[in-house]
A = this chain, B = another copy of it.
Amino acid sequence: MPKIHDLDTPSILIDAARAEANIARAQAHADRNGLKLRPHIKTHKLPYWAKKQVAAGAVGITCQKIGEAEVMADAGLADIFLPYNILGRAKLERLKALHGRVTLSVTADSRDTLEGLAATFTDTGHPLSVLVECDTGMGRCGVQSADEAVALAKVIDKAGGLSFGGLMTYPAAGRAAEAEAWLAGAKRALAASGLACDRVSSGGTPDMWRSADTSVVTEYRPGTYIYLDRYQVAKGVGTLDDCALTVLATVVSHPTPNRAILDSGSKALSSDTLGLKDFGELLGVPGALVTGLSEEHGTVTLSDNAGLRIGERVRVVPDHCCVVTNLFNEVTLIDGETILETMPVAARGLMG
């Protein structure tokens, strides 16, 4: 069997057992709390893991782009949620084609989006499920009030080719209670208007772990939980020992005792720190942090006496695993030091 030693660098390693354990742990939590899990595949972009997530008990998957959904549908995933405003002739036609192949649901937060959807799906025979996206504090997409949510739900309900599918939000980090109150209020307002709301979809790996069965939320869309990263560890979701994704890098320079340079820069580790101070940390080298990145160089600051050898390989836990997999053409699944399989990141780099 080939070993990690046989790989060139930089490479992405996925500890398969850890990823499987992370899937099982989240599914068990969801089951205990009566929540549906609909994992977001943006993190891995691999049919391999999407199938494992569904096999473990997920009700379906979440994709952020039509291109991702098409790859997953091609691979046999049958229930896909696309929580995005789909606009424009080309994407609407692709959406319509997908609707004929899988159980599909989408979101909208404006009449403009609904007009395009309604015009496209009017003649399909079975309506497209559309959830209303709600801005519960994050300040990204979403209607700004329960009244707006009700108004859009009515538009959906009246459109021939569409059916009102519920509410969707991505809550602001650390403000799940605020989101909960917002959604509960909107659900009451919908009920007062005679509109049933059986599905309330929320997102985010950290929030999922704080959820309980008293929540108005019926499904979660965690993405990062499968691999985890430094940001999730900082949020208390797991430990470094739970992180399934690491970047295998080579020490290419060691100009001073406290500075080593890796062959992994912003085109491998990404500049996306999600607000953390550094860009990654080295496994098994206490205190060794990636403190700077240029495109193909990662600067490691070492504590005294922690010198690395030039040519040595190290494994880096990045801050944000989702944007790291998006930078590579392929990832390698491992079991300890053994390579199980190298597979293309099938759903990356796709337009739309």
| A89 nearest in chain B by CB position | B8
Contact assessment for A9 and B352 in the assembled complex, using a CB-CB cutoff below 8 Å? yes
Q: A263 — which chain B residues lie within 8 A by C-beta?
A: 84, 352
Assess whether A283 is interfacial by the CB under 8 Å rule: no
Given A64-B296, A91-B8, A296-B64, verify A349-B329 contact (CB < 8 Å): yes
Stretch at the interface among A20-28, A206-214, A253-261: A253-261
**Can you list, as one digit per residue, whether each of A49-77 has a CB less than 8 Å from chain B (1) or not (0)?**
00000000000000011000000000000
Given A64-B295, A266-B323, verify A253-B85 contact (CB < 8 Å): yes
| A42 nearest in chain B by CB position | B295
Q: A11 — which chain B residues lie within 8 A by C-beta?
A: 351
Copies of this subunit: 2
Q: A296 — which chain B residues lie within 8 A by C-beta?
A: 42, 64-65, 84
CB distance from A64 to the nearest CB of B (A): 5
Q: A126 — which chain B residues lie within 8 A by C-beta?
A: none
A125-160 contacts to B, CB under 8 A, are 133, 135, 139-144
Contact assessment for B90 and A8 in the assembled complex, using a CB-CB cutoff below 8 Å? yes
CB distance from A83 to the nearest CB of B (A): 10
CB distance from A280 to the nearest CB of B (A): 14
| A309 nearest in chain B by CB position | B112
Assess whether A297 is interfacial by the CB under 8 Å rule: yes
Q: A253 — which chain B residues lie within 8 A by C-beta?
A: 85, 109-110, 113, 133, 140-142
Stretch at the interface among A31-39, A178-186, A267-275: A267-275
| A274 nearest in chain B by CB position | B271
Contact assessment for B252 and A297 in the assembled complex, using a CB-CB cutoff below 8 Å? no
Given A85-B253, A141-B252, verify A110-B329 contact (CB < 8 Å): no
**Can you list, as one digit per residue, whether each of A279-318 has a CB less than 8 Å from chain B (1) or not (0)?**
0000000000000101111010000000001110000000
How far is B109's CA from A276's CA once the two chains are assembled, in angstroms?
A: 31
Q: A349 — which chain B residues lie within 8 A by C-beta?
A: 327-329, 349
Given A140-B297, A250-B87, A327-B327, verify A8-B351 contact (CB < 8 Å): yes
How far is B275's CA from A265's CA once the two chains are assembled, in angstroms?
A: 16
CB distance from A145 to the nearest CB of B (A): 11
Q: A144 — which chain B residues lie within 8 A by C-beta?
A: 255-256
Contact assessment for B90 and A142 in the assembled complex, using a CB-CB cutoff below 8 Å? no
**Can you list, as one digit per residue, whether each of A308-352 has a CB less than 8 Å from chain B (1) or not (0)?**
011100000000001100111100000000000000000001111
Contact assessment for A84 and B252 in the assembled complex, using a CB-CB cutoff below 8 Å? yes
Contact assessment for A143 and B311 in the assembled complex, using a CB-CB cutoff below 8 Å? no
Assess whether A10 is interfacial by the CB under 8 Å rule: yes
Which of B87, B267, B352 is the one whose CB lies under 8 Å from A323?
B267
How far is B91's CA from A263's CA once the two chains are assembled, in angstroms?
A: 12
Instruction: Show the binding face of A for B, using Cβ within 8 Å.
Output: 8-11, 42, 64-65, 84-85, 87-88, 90-91, 109-110, 112-113, 116, 133, 135, 139-144, 250, 252-256, 259, 261, 263, 266-267, 270-273, 292, 294-297, 299, 309-311, 322-323, 326-329, 349-352
